[in-house]
Amino acid sequence: MGRNASTEQFNDGDSFNERSSLTRELHVLFIDIIFFSATIKSCYEAINGKIKKIQIKKILNAADWYEHYRDKETGRRVLSESEFIEHEHEKLTAIRLAQMNYDVVFAPKGIFKRSQKKFDVYLFRDTVILEADLKYIVSKNPDTISRRIKDGCDQASRIVIDINSVVDKKYLIQGLKSGVYKNNLVKEILLFYKNKFYRLPKSLIESKRIYEIIK
C-alpha cells in the first residue's frame, strides 16, 4: 500500500518522472483498498470453508503489509498498512493475540466511510475472521472496565480486553457484567488476565459460570 504519498508536494522544478511515480503510487493504494475490501467481503459471503481459507490467505500474503511481529511458535503475524501504529499499547495487545494463534491485521484507514464505525483490527485463524476493538486497561476500577467495554462495542461486537493491572477477579467480573448488561451490541469479550486468555461470549459473562471460568 502507498507510503505517505498523499502528503507529498511538488515544486515547479519537479520532474515528470517524479510526478508519474507519485501517480502510480496513489493508484496502487487505490487498487489495494478495493482488493482488500472485496476480498474481505468475499470471505464473509463464502459458504465453503475452503474458499474462505483461500481468500484469507490472499489477504495475509498481500505484498504491501508491514510486518510488526511474527511469533516463533504459532507463526502468526501482526500486520498493518505502514510501520506506524498510532498507540504502542495496541501493538502490544496485537502481539499477545498473535501468541494466541491469531493473525492480526490493523484495519486500513481507507476502508471506512465517514459515518462508519472504525474498529481496530481483523483477527484471522483458518476460516475464522473477526472484527475487534482493542482495549488496554491499567485501572482496577470495575466502572472503568465497564465503560471501556461500552466504548468498544460502539466500534465492533467483539472487544479485546487486555488487563494490565492487579484488579481482583471479583471486581473484574463485576466490570465485565456491567459492561454487557442490556448491551445488545456486544457478542463476545476476548480477555487477557493474569497471563491467561479467555474467549467469553456475552451469555457466559452474564451467567454464574463466569466465576468458575476466570481464574
Q: What is the full per-residue pLDDT of the chain (215 aa) written as tens digits? A: 434 333 334 344 444 344 444 444 443 344 478 888 888 888 888 888 888 999 999 999 987 899 999 999 999 999 998 888 989 999 999 999 999 999 999 998 888 766 666 899 999 999 999 999 999 999 999 999 999 999 999 899 999 999 999 999 999 999 999 999 999 999 999 999 999 999 999 999 999 999 999 99
- 57 vs 191: CA distance, rounded Å: 26
Q: What is the pLDDT of residue 114?
A: 64
Q: What is the pLDDT of residue 15?
A: 45
Q: Is 85 helix (H, G, I), strand (E, B) or coil?
A: coil
Q: What is the pLDDT of residue 25?
A: 46
Looking only at the bridges linking them, the beta strands covering 188-193 and 196-201 are: antiparallel
Enter the C-alpha cell of residue 32: 489495494
Could you give phi then psi for residue 64, rounded to 5 degrees? -90, 0
b/e map of 74-93 (b: 16 or more CB within 10 Å)? eebbbbbbeeebeeeebbbb
Q: Is 49 helix (H, G, I), strand (E, B) or coil?
A: helix
Q: What is the pLDDT of residue 74?
A: 97
Q: Is 201 helix (H, G, I), strand (E, B) or coil?
A: strand
Question: Cβ distance 104 to 97 under 8 Å?
Answer: yes
The domain defined by 65-213 folds into Trna Endonuclease; Chain: A, domain 1 (3.40.1350)
Q: How far is CA 98 from CA 19, 28, 103, 141, in A?
A: 39, 28, 6, 28
Q: Is 64 helix (H, G, I), strand (E, B) or coil?
A: coil
Enter the C-alpha cell of residue 99: 501468541
Q: Is the dihedral of CA 77, 79, 85, 90 positive or negative?
A: negative
Looking only at the bridges linking them, the beta strands covering 121-125 and 128-137 are: antiparallel
Angle, helices 169-180 vs 142-153, to 10°: value is 40
pTM: 0.82
Q: Is 91 helix (H, G, I), strand (E, B) or coil?
A: helix
